[in-house]
Amino acid sequence: EMAVTDGETSEALTTLHRVFGYEAFRGEQEAVVEHVIAGGDAVVLMPTGGGKSLCYQIPALIRPGTGVVVSPLIALMQDQVDALRALGVRAGFVNSTQDFDERRVVEAQFLAGELDLLYLAPERLRLDGTLDLLSRGKISVFAIDEAHCVSQWGHDFRPDYLALSLLGERWPDVPRIALTATATHTTHQEITQRLGMPRARHFVASFDRPNIQYRIVPKSDAKKQLLAFLREEHPGDAGIVYCLSRNSVEKTAEFLSRNGVEAVPYHAGLDAGTRAAHQSRFLREDGLVVVATIAFGMGIDKPDVRFVAHLDLPKSVEGYYQETGRAGRDGLPSTAWMAYGLNDVVQQRKLIQTGDGDEGFQRRAAAHLDAMLALCETARCRRGQLLAYFGQDPQAADCGNCDTCLTPPETWDGTVAAQKLLSTVVRLQRERGQKFGAGQIIDILLGKRTARVIQFDHDQLSVFGIGEDLTEGEWRGVVRQLLAQGLLAVEGEYGTLVLTESSGSVLRGEREVPLRKEPKRPAAARGGGS
Ligand code: ADP
Ligand code: ZN
């Protein structure tokens, strides 16, 4: 038993102080480290920024031999190795970015027992040469980073990860540690199964980030809403604004700069030099805002990011969690703010349906999007919903630090409104054989004689003007929520609205449709995290 006893400092703790200069272990780190040092297998689920690296780095330093780290993040290996070398750790990597000679040097170091850590890309393990090399050296531990890549249902699936089960077969005496920040229950099971780690101990850190305040507001004019949010709650703070397209990244960065918020763009379309310059400014300066596509953030370790804002809907809850998780790593109050609207849903559905993914991919992508919509439209605690998604029990029913807890949304009986909307969709289809997007349907409900309404004679429909009791914004809210509840669907390139299997029960009056009220004005000024 290698656990710490009173008055005695463990070798692990000494290494933590001496090599990394940290005071104490965080959360589950110590338990993981002791278990692996003692030769046990471990599956570690820890949120991004939770401190997964130390879980294998310290055992690698303490156990005799080299720790072999399998990681798909080739682009980060050089940085990781440089950072370790700066601490005096003997680290190296082997991947496709190296030429023959560079690789030779690292291989020789490994064979001579001169490496504490060796980083490898998973595809290298397919090569006989690599397996042969590994079997001629001494290995202290195998670390499998980003282990969720083994999951065929996840969005990061890497076929090469499936071959990693052979590590346990060829090196039964070397402990293995699989690490990931993605922790849905199925992923967890798949990791254990596919990596062949039935005897592994499982360490599951809490995914709760209590210092992050979650807020999702209905989108009206996203850039203006963002500006108001930044002025009221985060003046002079560093943060990240995520947009879906390069074009909106550019426009938003310009807009913020013009309005007195220092902001720079970051996306894959910028040249490498500009990207590196903007990234390093973000890391070094106080209070710079980076407007970025999701290309930005992997491996970014800035503790005082005070807010993460989304101007477009992320594709999945996993993505949302990972991106918002870049806020507040220092533990201080931070905000995850998002503006989300009907167009987001229509656009994302279109991307899925017209993309080149096969049927299985489309189905999974749609399921991911549905979970994200459910989070957006929930009238309950957002944190509770997030944690439940990751299979964790929230501490309390209400966290008190998300928008729905701070200003519980009012609900109303939307049954009649839903019936009006659905019957408009039905009539267009049955009587006219037509399908239309939300804009036209809402114009019909509101009784608006637009050019397009006239063109299609839609003012002659019996449903024309039956929805004048609600505003356009309220109708968009109804559409969004029906989509999120699966009572309405959107399809095709033009985002046309169609019924689902469940729509009939609403039309027949067999079920009620509770909806949340649209806030009178965006909730931006409320409950500020700072
Ligand atoms: P993850 O891989 O889980 O995203 P990292 O291993 O990169 O997280 O760690 C995130 C940050 O936290 C790093 O800057 C790391 O140095 C720091 N860190 C990790 N463990 C500790 C600790 N025990 N004490 C202080 N800082 C830590
Ligand atoms: Zn809450």
Q: How many Cα atoms occupy the beta-carbon half-sphere of 74 within 13 Å?
A: 9
* Ligand 1 binding pocket mutation candidate from 15, 17, 53, 283 (most atoms within 8 A of CB): 53
Ligand 1 binding pocket includes 22 (Cβ within 6 Å): yes
Ligand 1 binding pocket includes 48 (Cβ within 6 Å): yes
Ligand 1 binding pocket includes 207 (Cβ within 6 Å): no
Mean pLDDT of 130-157: 89
CA–centroid distance, residue 528 to ligand 1 (Å) = 27
In the chain, % of residues over pLDDT 90: 66
What is the position in ligand 1's atom list of the atom closest to the CA of 55? 6
Write the CB contacts of 382 (distance below 8 Å, at least 6 apart in sequence).
214, 215, 216, 375, 399, 402, 403, 404, 405
Write the CB contacts of 514 (distance below 8 Å, at least 6 apart in sequence).
379, 411, 412, 413, 414
Beta-sheet pairing, 239-242 with 176-180: unpaired
Among all bound ligands, the one having the nearest atom to the CA of 44 is 1
Among all bound ligands, the one having the nearest atom to the CA of 336 is 2
Whether 528 shows a pLDDT value over 70: the answer reads no
Whether 392 shows a pLDDT value over 80: the answer reads no
Q: In this predicted structure, what is the pLDDT of residue 8? A: 57
Beta bridge partners of 491: 496
Write the CB contacts of 400 (distance below 8 Å, at least 6 apart in sequence).
406
For residues 10 and 308, the model is more confident at 308
Whether 9 shows a pLDDT value over 80: the answer reads no
Whole-number average pLDDT of the chain = 90
CA–centroid distance, residue 127 to ligand 1 (Å) = 32
For residues 382 and 388, the model is more confident at 382
* Ligand 1 binding pocket mutation candidate from 15, 18, 20 (most atoms within 8 A of CB): 20
Q: Which helix (H) or strand (E) holds 350?
A: helix 342-354
Closest Cα to atom 10 of ligand 1 = 49
CA–centroid distance, residue 230 to ligand 1 (Å) = 28
Torsions phi, psi of 491, nearest 5? -140, 160
From the DSSP assignment, how many helices (H) and strands (E) are in the chain? 21, 17
CA–centroid distance, residue 301 to ligand 1 (Å) = 9
Q: In this predicted structure, what is the pLDDT of residue 520? A: 59
- The number of residues in the chain equals 530
Structure tokens at 216: 């999702």
Longest CA–CA separation in the chain, Å: 86
Q: In this predicted structure, what is the pLDDT of residue 153? A: 67
Count of Cβ atoms closer than 10 Å to residue 366 Cβ? 15
Ligand 1 binding pocket includes 297 (Cβ within 6 Å): no
Write the CB contacts of 67 (distance below 8 Å, at least 6 apart in sequence).
56, 57, 59, 60, 61, 116, 117, 118, 139, 140, 141, 142, 143
Torsions phi, psi of 481, nearest 5? -70, -35
401-432 pLDDT, tens digit each: 999 999 998 889 999 999 999 999 999 998 89
Q: In this predicted structure, what is the pLDDT of residue 299? A: 65
Closest Cα to atom 21 of ligand 1 = 51
Q: In this predicted structure, what is the pLDDT of residue 368? A: 87
For residues 404 and 2, the model is more confident at 404
Closest Cα to atom 24 of ligand 1 = 22
Among all bound ligands, the one having the nearest atom to the CA of 400 is 2
Torsions phi, psi of 469, nearest 5? -75, -15
**Closest Cα to residue 497, out of 345, 289, 395?**
345
Q: In this predicted structure, what is the pLDDT of residue 4? A: 46
CA–centroid distance, residue 237 to ligand 1 (Å) = 22
Ligand 1 binding pocket includes 54 (Cβ within 6 Å): yes
Mean pLDDT of 123-152: 92
Contact 76, 299 (CB under 8 A): yes
Ligand 1 binding pocket includes 53 (Cβ within 6 Å): yes
Contact 141, 116 (CB under 8 A): no
148-197 pLDDT, tens digit each: 888 876 667 888 888 899 999 999 999 999 999 876 777 788 899 999 99
Helices 342-354 and 472-484 pack at an angle, to 10 degrees, of: 40
Q: What is the 3-state secondary structure (H, E, C) of 269-316?
A: CCCHHHHHHHHHHHHHCCCCEEEECCCCCCCCCCCCCCEEEECCCCCC
**Closest Cα to residue 193, out of 134, 235, 153, 238?**
153
For the entire predicted model, the pTM comes to: 0.73
Lowest mean pLDDT among 223-232, 284-293, 491-500: 491-500
Ligand 1 binding pocket includes 188 (Cβ within 6 Å): no
> What is the spatial distance between Cα 54 and Cα 138, in angstroms, rounded to a whole number?
20
Residue 490, SS3? strand
Among all bound ligands, the one having the nearest atom to the CA of 28 is 1
Q: Scanning the structure block, which residue is given the tokens 């096969």? A: 358
Whether 7 shows a pLDDT value over 90: the answer reads no
Count of Cβ atoms closer than 10 Å to residue 242 Cβ? 26
Closest Cα to atom 17 of ligand 1 = 51
Alpha-carbon torsion, ordered 140, 146, 149, 155, to 10 deg: 180
Ligand 1 binding pocket includes 17 (Cβ within 6 Å): no
Ligand 1 binding pocket includes 46 (Cβ within 6 Å): yes
Beta-sheet pairing, 514-516 with 411-413: antiparallel
Whether 527 shows a pLDDT value over 50: the answer reads no
504-515 pLDDT, tens digit each: 999 999 999 999
Beta bridge partners of 433: none
Whether 255 shows a pLDDT value over 50: the answer reads yes
Write the CB contacts of 349 (distance below 8 Å, at least 6 apart in sequence).
366, 369, 490, 491, 495
CA–centroid distance, residue 9 to ligand 1 (Å) = 21
75-121 pLDDT, tens digit each: 788 888 999 999 999 999 998 888 999 999 999 999 999 999 999 99
Local confidence band at 522 (pLDDT 50, 70, 90 cut-offs): very low
Q: In this predicted structure, what is the pLDDT of residue 298? A: 67
* Ligand 1 binding pocket mutation candidate from 22, 81, 329 (most atoms within 8 A of CB): 22
Ligand 1 binding pocket includes 51 (Cβ within 6 Å): yes
Closest Cα to atom 27 of ligand 1 = 51
